[in-house]
Structure 1
Amino acid sequence: MPPHPVIEVREGRRPGWQLALMGLAGVLALALIGSGAVWLITGTGDGRDAAPGGQDPLPTETVDASLAWEQPIPDVSDGMIDAPGTWVSGDQLVRLMPEGLVAYDLADGSELWTVPLEHHAGNCRASISASEDRVAVLQGMECEFLTVVDIAVGEELFTIPHEATSGIALGSWDHPAIVGDIVAIGTASGGSGYSITDAQKIWEPRSDDNCRERGYAHVDETLIALMTCGNVLEFDQGSLRATAPSGEDLWEWEFGAEHEGEPFTVDSVISTSPLVVQARVGAMTERPVTQIWVIDDAYEEIAHVVDFDPQRQLRPCTTNVLDQCRGAMVSDGFLFLGSTPEGEGNAVIAFDLSTGTALYDVEPIGGGDIKPFAVVHGQVLAYQLADSQTEGMVVALDPETEQATPLMTLDRAQREAERTLMSDVIGDDVALLWHNGAFIMVSEKYYSHDEPGTPAVLVYR
């Protein structure tokens, strides 16, 4: 496949955030040396490798788990509550709730602390993952305030005004990403960045030309920036750029405005090693088709278009969120996606990223529905949904046997609670996590028509 046209990099095109990060590099290095800190992704909840958080080894024999504790959904007076934020810090489960950030003891569910969000309103976003046990939350009627919280101790570090997107969507599509000492916020009008140490803005949306950094992501301990040039719906050119927490440039993939004669949009970053992205190909007004691309090691062209069929496999990533890919797991050069349920269930499909082809299907044990949700110590974990006859199960996908191996069977008496919380494998509204032998299910969307006592959290061990 021929490479995309190379973007001409004009003098002055280097974004202000990179210059700011370079200036901070020396300060950060000294701080790291003095504190002995280590950059970690903790409690990602979006399918990234869970090993950096200091995970215990996976069980060598199947665990017959019981329900350790549960939490019901909050009261919903009318309509819906959208609470997209779930993290693990140490032995705490931290959730974004209507009243603020709430931490629970993973052992028994007791409430440990609450950080109130004074301006919490609307459907504002939070950082998908934490960095150094810190998360970023947008709040306010137009998501015009940025709050950073240390979730290890339950301390609000600061709340400062943020220039949110104006217009019909207000700021509800703005997303923060936090990496090291930097919080970056992507908006339709451009990106801005803040230093956590100083609680100060260190770069702001550019106004010198029509190029804008519209989105940021925290993937594989790097800050990823998506830049496009042109208007919101039809850009002329763009790039994905990765920067280390120290400010060091790692790589950049530049792309043109079309793929095989069709316009496209880069939706999400699934992996950085190799670089795997979800894109929508076709005009936005004409039902574009989701594709998955593997970018070559030189970050110059599309090496492979994965043999992905949106009619046969579940879309791995949430649209308009650069780093939420709960349906895609990458491990050891393979991509694992769930197939579309049909008949009596579905399967997990393994794709070889060196070729883009589908190699094999992993069928659920005894049939039913299955969803990959995490990579722990290099092993891909999947959840088999409970049905009316069979309890749910956590399994490991074994590439040697191309089969699912049971790690944990869930409390049989809780089948109905499981099925209420996780009714299917299609949606993205439930976070599934594995942490040191505990399997955690957290719903992040609640409705006024839900029955009282409907579970929002189930924790098994």
Structure 2
Amino acid sequence: MSPLTHPPHQPPEEPGNAPNPHLRPPRLEENPYAQDPPGPAGGFGPPPPGFGPPVSHPPHGQVAPPSRPAGRDGARRGRTLGLVGVVVVAVLAAGGYLLGAGRIETSAPTAAPRTGKDGAAAATGEGKAAGPRPAERALDLDAGRQPGEDRALFLKVNEVDVPASGADTRGIWFAGDTVVKAVYKSLNGYGARDGKPRWSVLFKGAVCAVPPQGTADGRLVVASKDGTSSRARCNQLTMVDLRTGHTGWTKEVPKEGPFDVMASPSMAISGDTVTFSRLGPSSGFRVSDGEKVFAHWKADCLPVAYAGGSKLVALLGCRDGSERIQGTDPGTGRGTWTYRVPGGWSVSRVYAVDPVVIDLSHKQRKQRAVVVLTAGGAVRARVAGADDLQPVCGYGLLHRSLQNCTGVVVDTASLYLPTEPRPDVRGHGRSNAVVAFDLATGKVRWRAEAGQGRRILPVASYGGTLYAYLEATHSQPGQVLALGSDGGTATPVLRHPSGTTQVEDSFVSPQFAYVDGRFFLSTTRLLGTDGVEEKLLMAFGK
């Protein structure tokens, strides 16, 4: 179909709004966290046994290197908290901040959080804050907003001390009108409408694994390390109510077998079960009370990782080097069906669990396939043109996090994936497209080109309508676009303001979400430079 149409955004340049070199997105070669595509460029060739018949697809350009990297270079000196235990704290602010050109400098340390007796959990309750950070007050989010543009609702800067090596900011969760982020040794709740701090939970060690989603009633289980030394292990589980910040149970993950070193963990939640997989064993615990419901560590095929949601799906690794996808009963950990991955192929990602949609790669053949399974584990469809598709996925050396991709959406009828950016035919830089695939056949239903040197990424689907994020550039603000079930003309539902374009564009490989008519951008990595406040979370809405 024709490229998406975009309203002009060319406000007059004002003093202080000149392009800022500190906000420049880094080049690909600067990024140590970029995710290589699961399958290199090139065609499929004939499908291997087990994938079903091939489907025809329109030609695509070559796969380009990943863009919008997930981090930037920089050294940091941090302020270590030195806390013991899980502590519910009030989020306190301090003065002496200056919004400079491209960074936010501070001349005063933050106030120390309160702790409980002997470092144990303080009395539960919502944390309170003294008000917005000075850097947040210094930035007028409405300045430069043009007629017809919507609002930047808030910009949150990081308030958590991080070490010199930096820290990950994991996940983004929603419970009622609260949005939640994990930062280093803390889990923090903010008002989804105004960004005001609601509560904060501190752990004695860094958060080391989180599930991508919580329970239907707003509970989450977080894994943290048992200390701050280099020998600290990722073995502490804590249940947190995302609505209030109240902590429930905390327990140490028991070792399963003689070689359980608690390394390379990943987590998933389905129903009342949270899984904790690591290098070797896997365990399942009840979210409600923390009781262990299953463990796997002795078998020819063991769970490597789980994908959660409305169903629980396990990726099994076998002694002979083969892999399997297995439907799993969350209450017992027992398999309900099994799909044997064809020889030589490996599972890169699980995009959905109902229906199951998996991304496979074959390193030797340099092939890639996206496969849709039936409820019983048989091949339902093979997606056309998978070699040209590239969602934004996280980076991992040893662990197999199956659900750490953004920019992929699955609803009852369609799978939506972005293509890899390619040179724009009109010479506007690199552009990509969103492609909708029929889950029943794997064939392309429609394709929407971003055009104008822009990138577009699927965000959410509600009532058969796809909502996609048209990323900001250095001179154009982002938009949230609605695309109907038949594609057609994209309709902007949020036009982000021109005055915050450079701030929006400076989020590098962020997590994003579109919830209740609001769009959220979330940082995935903090550098921790001493005296510099960094962006953490930004929201847009009406």
**Residue deviations 1:422-449, cap 9 Å, x none?**
4xxxx4xx22112222111111212246
Which one of 482, 491, 496 corresponds to residue 405 of structure 1? 491
1:304 aligns with 2:381: yes
Counterpart check, 1:115 vs 2:193: no
Q: Is the CA contact 2:284–2:333 (under 8 Å) kept in the aligned structure 1? A: no
* Change beyond 3 A, Cα 1:279–1:72: same
Instruction: Say yes or no: does 1:81 pair with 2:167.
Output: yes
**Normalization by structure 1: what TM-score?**
0.74
- Structure 1 SS opposite 2:222: strand
- Post-superposition offset of 1:89: 0.8
Distance 2:327 2:292 in 1: 20
The residue correspondences of 1:313-352 to structure 2 (distance < 5 A) are 313-315=389-391, 317-318=393-394, 320-343=400-423, 344=429, 345-352=431-438
1:355-370 map, 5 Å? 355-364=441-450, 368-370=454-456
Instruction: Tell me the amino acid that sits aligned with residue 282 of structure 2.
Output: G
- Is the Cα–Cα contact under 8 Å of residues 143 and 164 in structure 1 kept in the other structure? no
Aligned to 1:210: 300
**Identity across matched positions, percent:** 23
Deviation at 1:354, TM superposition (A): 2.5
- Tell me how far apart the structure 1 counterparts of residues 530 and 502 of structure 2 sit (CA, whole Å): 14
1:291 maps to which of 364, 369, 388: 369
Alpha-carbon distance between aligned partners in 2 of 1:2 and 1:393, rounded to the nearest angstrom: 40
Structure 1 pair 404/169, CA: closer, same or farther in 2 (3 Å)?
A: farther
C-alpha displacement of 1:165: 9.3
Residue 92 of structure 1: how far off its partner (Å): 0.6
Residue-by-residue CA offset, 1:312-331 (whole Å, 9 max, x unaligned): 32146547212233221123
2:311 is matched with 222
- Offset of residue 166 of structure 1: 11
CA distance in 2, matches of 1:167, 1:451: 45
Cα deviation, residue 450, structure 1: 10
Partner of 2:178: 92
Q: Which residue of structure 2 aligns with residue 39 of structure 1?
A: none
RMSD after superposition: 3.2
Indicate conservation of the 8 Å contact 2:188/2:201, yes or no: yes
Aligned to 1:17: none
Structure 1 position 392, deviation (Å): 1.0
Note if contact 2:360-2:369 (Cα within 8 Å) is conserved in structure 1.
yes
Question: 2:19: which partner in 1?
Answer: none
CA shift for structure 1 position 373? 1.5
Counterpart contact for 2:260–2:280, Cα < 8 Å: no
Indicate the residue corresponding to 2:348 in structure 1. 267
**Corresponding letter in the other structure for 1:437:** G
What's the offset of the Cα at 1:163? 4.2
User: How high is the TM-score relative to the length of structure 2?
Assistant: 0.64
- What is the rounded CA distance, in whole Å, between the counterparts of 1:442 and 1:352 in structure 2? 30
The corresponding residue for 2:66 is none
Give the one of 157, 172, 175 matched to 1:72: 157
Larger radius of gyration: 2
Tell me how far apart the structure 2 counterparts of residues 128 and 229 of structure 1 sit (CA, whole Å): 26
Gaps of 5+ in 2: 1-46, 52-146, 226-231, 424-428
2:239 corresponds to which residue? 148
Amino acid at match of 2:214: A
Gaps of 5+ in 1: 6-61
Deviation at 1:367, TM superposition (A): 5.5
- 8 Å CA contact retained: 2:465, 2:485: no
> Residue type matched to 1:107 in 2?
R
The answer to whether 1:240 aligns with 2:329 is no
Q: Partner amino acid for 1:215?
A: A
Matched, 1:457 2:533: no
